[in-house]
Amino acid sequence: MEERMESVMTTEITADKADDKTENNVENKIEDKTGNNAENRANLANFETTFEQLTQQLLSDVRSGEHLKIELKGEQSQFVRFNGAKVRQTGCIQDGQLTLTLMQNQRNSFREIPLTGDWAIDAPQARDAIADLRAEISQLPEDPYLVLPQGEGTSREVHKGQLLPPEAVASAILPGVQGLDFTGIYAGGSLVRAYADSAGQHHWFDTEFFSLDYSLFTADGQAVKGTFAGNQWDEAAYSAKLAESKHQLERLAQPPKSVLKGQYRTYLAPGAVAELLSMFSWGGVSEDALQRGGSSLGLLQRNEKRLSDKFHLMENFSRGLVPRFNDWGEIAPVALPVIEGGILKNTLINSRTAKEYNKTANGANGWESLRSPEILPGTLPAADILKALDTGLYLSNLHYLNWSDRPTGRITGMTRYACFWVENGEIVAPIENLRFDESLYQCFGENLIDLTNFQEFIPEVGTYYHRSPGGVRVPGILIEGFTYTL
């Protein structure tokens, strides 16, 4: 499997937060100037109309003793793939998937079906799915930890955007990179997540946004990474972003230096920190994983190890980039401290885990993964990074991380993109990529010297099965004795 990419986002989606159990419409008032946006909104309107009609009908047909929840994932997306400052592939997709989960007598099953936005197609398909569920459910074993819908929470968030018309994307992006080895992908369009259930909860989240995730390469294969994302295409901001990337590319002009394996003082830029942070969602902050020995934070929870008192990790939904409702329609708190001053303050607990282990749920999703995380900044100013690093490695990005020994928090991965050898506070040369193998208890623990006094937003650019919204907000970190093995 592959990995997530990173860099600085210059234009950020902004929206007000949705309050618990309140109808909250936060439509951003942005003039719709493009035909593309109009078409996207028309398709979304079909989705919403059909979703509402289906929800009304299916929920009114719920029988005594039955519980039903209905979830929607939909998108109208354009993907333009670039290589060598040319177009490799280009196209648009329209997709919608409805998941119906029926619960009865402590049993449950789901059906996932297409939602096309055409009532004549979608309605009979949904009715057939419910009939199929009713036929199956009695065959299934009981689930003592089944979570039934409850509460009356509703929310509605609509974030309109102003994106490039689909036919204008290549011509807007490519002229500025002619003469450069530019590769990457533009992904843009509208996205919907919705939820309704037989207890009366109802949530709607739709947003229009784009991301341009790219790399610029030198002739000998070194590269810088850039990400430009938001809900409005801003030509001036794009030009500024490109200028910044071109400047970084100039630093890679000299041949890379081969660095021997060993331990080096290291600065991890925000893009690299975001990669490390992703590991906290894979056998990390999940209460279920902790209960079953599948978490890297077991040592922290049992107070056998601790992280640096400079390290603070929290969930922060205040920017409204992702839905706050989860798989059960529950609204997560706007902010939840996870690690405070190096101490595990809260794990992520969903309602199922809470039921199984007699805990209190805190709005976590089914996977108990971080959805809108933030590592708080420290005191190191940007201008002092190289001076504070003194002699060691400056890493812009990391690549292909995996646990090499999860119970001890040991992670392996590779350096990637613009990474440099630094001596006496001066960049000497880019480096040949190195493999690292290091415990998070070292790099976020006793070896953590400082974090930068600024954060960067690293947008989520993943598109497995669906385009993903959101991102992470992280500072850079300076650490002592980071371990390189190959």
Residue list 412-441, contact with other proteins (CB under 8 A): 412-414, 416, 433, 435, 437, 439, 441
Specify the residue for token string 């080895």: 181
Q: Which is nearer to other proteins, 311 or 317 (CB)?
A: 311
Q: How many CB atoms lie within 10 A of CB 35?
A: 11
Min CB(284)–other proteins separation in Å = 14
Min CB(330)–other proteins separation in Å = 19
Q: Which is nearer to other proteins, 248 or 316 (CB)?
A: 248
DSSP letter assigned to residue 132: H
| Per CB under 8 A, 179 contacts other proteins | no
Beta strand pairing call for 343-344 and 335-340: antiparallel
Selected binder of other proteins within 29, 64, 65, 465 (CB under 8 A): 465
Site for other proteins in 189-248 (CB under 8 A): 213-215, 217, 221, 223, 225
Min CB(425)–other proteins separation in Å = 28
Specify the residue for token string 């996870």: 338
Cα–Cα distance measured from residue 191 to residue 174, given in angstroms and rounded to the nearest whole number: 25
Strand partners, 162: 232
Total residues at the site for other proteins (CB under 8 A)? 99
Selected binder of other proteins within 5, 331, 364, 443 (CB under 8 A): 5
Beta strand pairing call for 392-405 and 262-268: parallel
Helix (H) or strand (E) holding 441: helix 440-441
Site for other proteins in 330-359 (CB under 8 A): none
Cα–Cα distance measured from residue 213 to residue 223, given in angstroms and rounded to the nearest whole number: 13
Min CB(236)–other proteins separation in Å = 22
Q: Which is nearer to other proteins, 222 or 455 (CB)?
A: 222
Token code pair at residue 368: 């108990």
Residue 321 and residue 469 in contact, taking contact as beta carbons nearer than 8 Å: yes
Residue 125 and residue 98 in contact, taking contact as beta carbons nearer than 8 Å: no
Cα–Cα distance measured from residue 282 to residue 295, given in angstroms and rounded to the nearest whole number: 8
Site for other proteins in 282-311 (CB under 8 A): 292-294, 298-299, 304
Selected binder of other proteins within 45, 168, 243, 428 (CB under 8 A): 168
Alpha helix (H) ranges present in 61-158?
119-137
Site for other proteins in 20-59 (CB under 8 A): none
Selected binder of other proteins within 11, 50, 108, 347 (CB under 8 A): 108
Site for other proteins in 112-141 (CB under 8 A): 112-118, 121, 132, 136, 139-141
Min CB(109)–other proteins separation in Å = 4
Selected binder of other proteins within 81, 127, 156, 306 (CB under 8 A): 81
The sign of the torsion formed by the CA atoms of 401, 471, 287, 304 equals positive
Residues 6+ apart with CB under 8 A from 349: 287, 359, 360, 361, 362, 364, 368
| Per CB under 8 A, 83 contacts other proteins | yes
Stretch that binds other proteins, among 155-163, 169-177, 246-254, 388-396 (CB under 8 A): 169-177
| Per CB under 8 A, 149 contacts other proteins | no
Site for other proteins in 364-403 (CB under 8 A): 399-403
Rg (CA), the chain: 24
Min CB(258)–other proteins separation in Å = 12
Specify the residue for token string 């799915």: 129
